[in-house]
């Protein structure tokens, strides 16, 4: 033994890192951030991550040695580990939880992982070592192997090193890749035979032979050569590119390959699309945009973080682009965070027109290997990864020289991870990441989060405002329609007021597009018996099932449980079952009835489950192939469409009446954001908000675009009831399959907390949904003074949890802390 020890983060939810000894032969190769193979328990092997290297042996248990080191260079750098430590500490989670969220699955191996043959591998054995071939041969006779099976084949304690190199060579795939139906992108390419490319006489003879016997093959060869010379004698040309030429046929190309005139092979394409278009110079800024850019630069001299508060369509993105260009000129990396994956499709095109190939994309809709490729490019400071555009997971990439973090729509709740742990907020964690790199952070939005705006007013952040739309365009005209009065006068047609239907009709006549917003997916949220009021509920959760007409199923949006639509009431046997409420599916169907000539589509979680579906729907709407787009809050987030003149909000009361202290904040933000999709370039837009309470002060502030007035009123309310930004919140969810047990456990845990924190503890109480996935839930809420030390508060809370779990009967209870809950 070398006398060295390493603390290893395992991909498990363990309270602390586990310490292993380092054999002398591995002493020179262990570094923080490298993956190592270790044994946990009697049999299980894991690929853990070295957290720290030291010389202190733990006194409480006998250490085991690490078995091997997987990497030549660290896959996680020291700055990332510093961020992981902060997230684990602040959000009361374990480092293993952070590792599972941060590290791409393709970089993780464990005993339970199943390994299968890669069907796309060309079975070229000469590229495999003897050990790799033994594993490959072992897979030929069975559907899969585990790392432990592979170790037995090799008569070793661990086969992880061999499996790692086989994955890199493409010979095998991990189980998770099969679940995603991942296949490497391949294309067939063609090249002129080396003899013909170097011998003009041989080429001339081939021409003469084909001219006499095979004129179609001659045409195919001529088309190939034309592309060959157009591309400046590119050696290999995509077969699909040649087939585009008239009158080339697949049969003619096959014949040329068979004769040896052309060579053919299959190559793996880069999974991430390259930008082939020409870059354009940055757009000239308007006077107000230039003033905002200058103000941001000046604020960065005094503050590390700046809030850019710009109304919708004020041109914030152009300001972002100029700042990105400045950072690239300084040789710095840039992280551009967006709340929704849907937004990356539009933004990536805008950025690539200016930045070309210096931008990469990273989010959860990419396959395992795509994410691993981006990770490695960032780790190696590849020029293609100088700017990273992505959702919240992009902040975990291995940046080495980060200069700027841009957080667009910083108010958006999608930046907060709810499950699983760590329940971090990407906006707040990104601010810490920027501090670690000595970078700057720009937070951009038209409707700032209250905490962010409060920090800006108090001088913790810089504040820059953009109060005019780009090009002098006016904000949309917003009209509140009283649906209660319209219903009393029997003017409502289904869920639509005469004002909204008339406005849609006018938009169709003028060849303009319409967005309709309803923040509830499915066809109808409730099915009810008109005789006894029975409604079908989820068998796993305490919620009613939502009817999805597309699948003719009742679905639970919490656990995914589905059942067929009942024909009889389960309680009284009546046939009188009626659909209640309104979802996006029903609106889409009814629009087709009211406006049969219009093309209607839907953008919600059901319609856009894949990356391709997102892009397809948005592209069709942008290309004006869709006239009416119905959607949930997916359509509210920064999308930019030229031809949208009308936005309709079907039911604003659903937002206002939600039982949550942030209801008015979310209502104001959503209504302002969705209204901003209207009239963005050519003419003033129109917004119609349907509501039962048109005099509500939040709606009046939306109409007046009065953010500061709304903020002051809401701030007073928050102060009275000790909510953020005046106080910090920590929520504990107590979970157990037994309802009586969860009730008793929650009371006991609350008593322990109250001994330490007194009347800062509220509850326990039932959450809105008190059973999810067969677990009963109770919640406790802590309201902590902002001046209190977060570190000391967390120490008290960890002590309370340890005291609770010290009793054996409580060890089956789950307690989930959520710091700064939304």
Rounded Cα distance, 751 and 639, in Å: 48
Which residue, of 179, 200, 220, is where some domain finishes? 179
CATH number for the domain that contains residue 704: 3.40.50.300
User: Does 493 share its domain with 599?
Assistant: yes
In a domain, 159, yes or no: yes
**pLDDT the model gives residue 50:** 96
* Residue 336 and residue 310 share a domain: yes
Q: Report how many domains make up the chain.
A: 6
pLDDT digits (tens, 9 = 90+) for 352-384: 888 877 888 887 767 777 788 889 889 988 888
What would the DSSP string read from start to end of 162-221?
A: HHHHHHHHTSEEEHHHHHTT----EEEEEEE-HHHHH-HHHHHHHHHHHHHH-HHHHHHH
Q: Would you say residue 568 lies in a domain?
A: no
Co-location of 411 and 495 in the same domain: no
Q: How far is 100 from 91, CA to CA, in rounded Å?
A: 15
My answer on whether 335 and 458 are in the same domain is: yes
pLDDT at 612: 67
Answer yes or no: is 692 within a domain: yes
Same domain, 57 and 166: no
Q: Domain for residue 552, yes or no?
A: no
Residue 162 shares a structural domain with residue 191:
no
Q: What is the DSSP letter of 109?
A: -
How high is the mean pLDDT in each 10-residue block of the chain (822 residues)?
85 90 92 90 81 91 88 93 97 95 78 73 73 87 82 83 82 54 62 85 86 87 84 77 84 89 78 61 89 96 96 88 94 91 69 81 76 87 88 94 95 91 96 97 96 96 90 84 93 93 94 90 88 93 90 88 90 90 90 93 78 74 89 73 88 90 93 81 84 95 94 95 96 96 97 95 94 95 94 94 94 95 92
Residue 345 confidence (pLDDT):
64
- Evaluate whether residue 60 is within a structural domain: yes
Residues 685 and 735 in one domain: no
Phi-psi region of 331 (alpha: psi -120 to 50; beta: other; left: phi over 0): left
Contact between residue 735 and residue 777 where contact means Cβ atoms under 8 Å apart: yes
CB 525 within 8 A of CB 499: no
Domain end call among 179, 195, 219: 179
What is residue 630's three-state secondary structure? strand
Q: What is the CA radius of gyration of the chain?
A: 30
What pLDDT was estimated at residue 718? Answer: 95
Q: Rounded to two decimals, what is the model's pTM?
A: 0.81
Clarify whether residues 387 and 346 are in a common domain: yes
Can you tell me the distance from the alpha carbon of 377 to that of 209, in angstroms, rounded to the nearest whole number? 49
Does residue 83 form part of some domain? Answer: yes
Q: What is the pLDDT of residue 177?
A: 37
**Same domain flag for 94 and 174:** no
655-659-664-666 Cα dihedral, nearest 10 degrees: -60
Name the helix (H) or strand (E) containing 447.
Answer: none
- Euclidean distance between CA atoms 238 and 224, whole angstroms: 10
Residue-range definition of the domain harbouring residue 504: 477-524+581-717
Element (H, E) at 623: none
Element (H, E) at 571: none
Burial class (CB in 10 A: 0-12, 13-18, 19+), 495: middle
C-alpha span between 320 and 630 (Å, rounded): 30
Regarding whether 300 and 394 lie in a shared domain, the answer is yes
What pLDDT does residue 136 have? 87
pLDDT at 269: 63
Q: Is residue 545 part of a domain?
A: no
562, part of any domain: no
Is the peptide bond preceding residue 75 cis, with omega within 30 degrees of 0?
Answer: no
d(CA 16, CA 18): 7
The full 3-state SS of 672-718, as one line of letters, equals HHHHCCCCCCCCCCEEEEEECCCCCHHHHHHHHCCHHHHHHHHHHHH
194 and 161 housed in the same domain = no
| Long-range contacts at 327-333 (CB < 8 A, ≥ 24 apart) | 327/403, 327/404, 328/355, 328/358, 328/386, 328/387, 330/403, 331/401, 332/401, 332/402, 332/403, 332/404, 332/439, 333/378, 333/381, 333/385, 333/386, 333/387, 333/388, 333/399, 333/400, 333/401, 333/402, 333/403
In this structure, are 264 and 294 located in the same domain?
Answer: no
Domain end: 234, 268, 302, which one?
268
* Residue for token pair 């990536």: 348
């Amino acid at each position: 033994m070398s006398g060295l020890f390493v603390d290893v983060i395992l991909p498990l939810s363990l309270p602390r890192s586990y310490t292993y000894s380092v054999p002398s032969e591995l002493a020179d190769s262990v570094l923080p951030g490298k993956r190592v193979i270790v044994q946990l328990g009697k049999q299980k092997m894991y690929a853990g991550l070295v957290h720290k290297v030291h010389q202190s042996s733990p006194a409480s248990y006998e250490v085991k040695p690490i078995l091997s080191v997987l990497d030549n260079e660290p896959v996680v750098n020291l700055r990332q580990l510093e961020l992981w430590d902060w997230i684990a500490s602040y959000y009361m989670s374990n480092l293993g939880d952070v590792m599972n969220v941060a590290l791409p699955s393709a970089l993780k191996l464990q005993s339970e992982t199943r390994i299968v043959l890669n069907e796309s591998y060309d079975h070229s054995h000469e590229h495999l070592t003897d050990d790799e071939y033994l594993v490959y041969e072992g897979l030929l006779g069975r559907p899969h192997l585990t790392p432990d099976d592979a170790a037995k084949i090799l008569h070793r304690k661990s086969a992880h090193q061999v499996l790692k190199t086989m994955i890199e060579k493409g010979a095998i795939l991990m189980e998770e890749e099969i679940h995603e139906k991942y296949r490497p992108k391949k294309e067939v390419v063609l090249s002129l035979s080396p003899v013909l490319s170097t011998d003009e006489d041989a080429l001339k003879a081939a021409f003469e032979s084909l001219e006499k016997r095979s004129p179609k093959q001659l045409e195919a060869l001529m088309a190939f050569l034309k592309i060959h010379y157009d591309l400046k004698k590119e050696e290999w040309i995509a077969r699909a590119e040649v087939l585009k030429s008239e009158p080339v046929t697949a049969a003619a190309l096959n014949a040329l390959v068979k004769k040896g005139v052309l060579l053919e092979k299959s190559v793996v394409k880069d999974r991430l699309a390259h930008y082939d278009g020409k870059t354009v110079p940055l757009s000239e800024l308007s006077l107000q945009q230039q003033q905002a850019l200058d103000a941001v630069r000046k604020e960065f001299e005094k503050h590390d973080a700046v809030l850019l508060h710009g109304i919708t369509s004020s041109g914030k993105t152009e300001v972002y682009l100029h700042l990105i260009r400045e950072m690239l000129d300084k040789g710095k990396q840039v992280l551009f965070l967006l709340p929704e994956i849907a937004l990356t499709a539009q933004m990536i095109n805008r950025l690539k027109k200016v930045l070309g190939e210096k931008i990469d994309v990273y989010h959860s809709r990419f396959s395992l290997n795509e994410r691993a490729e981006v990770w490695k490019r960032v780790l190696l400071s590849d020029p293609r990864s100088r700017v990273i555009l992505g959702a919240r997971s992009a902040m975990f990439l291995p940046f080495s020289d980060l200069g700027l973090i841009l957080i667009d729509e910083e108010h958006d709740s999608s930046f907060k991870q709810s499950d699983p742990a760590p329940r971090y907020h990407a906006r707040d964690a990104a601010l810490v990441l920027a501090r670690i790199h000595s970078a700057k952070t720009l937070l951009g939005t038209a409707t700032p989060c209250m905490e962010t705006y409060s920090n800006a007013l108090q001088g913790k952040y810089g504040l820059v405002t953009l109060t005019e739309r780009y090009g002098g365009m006016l904000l949309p005209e917003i009209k509140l329609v009283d649906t209660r009065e319209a219903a009393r006068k029997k003017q409502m047609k289904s869920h639509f007021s005469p004002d909204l239907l008339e406005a849609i009709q006018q938009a169709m006549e003028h060849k303009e597009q319409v967005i309709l917003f309803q923040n509830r997916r499915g066809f109808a949220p409730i099915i009810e018996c008109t005789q006894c009021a029975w409604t079908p509920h989820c068998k796993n959760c305490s919620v009613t099932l939502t009817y999805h007409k597309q699948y003719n199923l009742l679905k639970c949006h919490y656990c995914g449980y589905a059942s067929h639509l009942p024909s009889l009431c389960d309680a009284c046997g009546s046939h009188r079952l009626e659909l209640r409420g309104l979802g996006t599916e029903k609106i889409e169907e009814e629009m087709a009835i009211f406006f049969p000539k219009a093309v209607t589509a839907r953008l919600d979680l059901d319609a856009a489950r894949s990356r391709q579906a997102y892009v397809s729907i948005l592209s069709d709407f942008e290309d004006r192939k869709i006239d009416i787009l119905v959607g949930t809050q997916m359509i509210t987030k920064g999308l930019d469409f030229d031809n949208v003149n009308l936005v309709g909000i079907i039911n604003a009361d659903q937002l206002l009446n939600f039982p949550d202290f942030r209801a008015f904040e979310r209502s104001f933000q959503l209504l302002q954001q969705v209204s901003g999709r209207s009239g963005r370039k050519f003419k003033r837009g129109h917004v119609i908000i349907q509501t039962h309470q048109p005099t509500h002060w939040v709606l009046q502030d939306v109409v007046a675009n009065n953010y500061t007035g709304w903020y002051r009123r809401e701030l007073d309310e928050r102060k009275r009831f000790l909510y953020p930004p005046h106080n910090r919140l920590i929520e504990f969810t107590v979970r157990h399959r037994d309802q009586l047990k969860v009730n008793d456990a929650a009371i006991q845990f609350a008593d322990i907390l109250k001994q330490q924190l007194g009347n800062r503890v509220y509850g326990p109480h039932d959450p809105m949904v008190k059973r999810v996935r067969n677990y009963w839930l109770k919640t406790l809420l802590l309201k902590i003074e902002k001046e209190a030390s977060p570190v000391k508060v967390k120490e008290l809370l960890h002590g309370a949890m340890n005291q609770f779990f010290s009793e054996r009967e409580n060890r089956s209870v789950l307690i989930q802390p959520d710091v700064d809950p939304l």
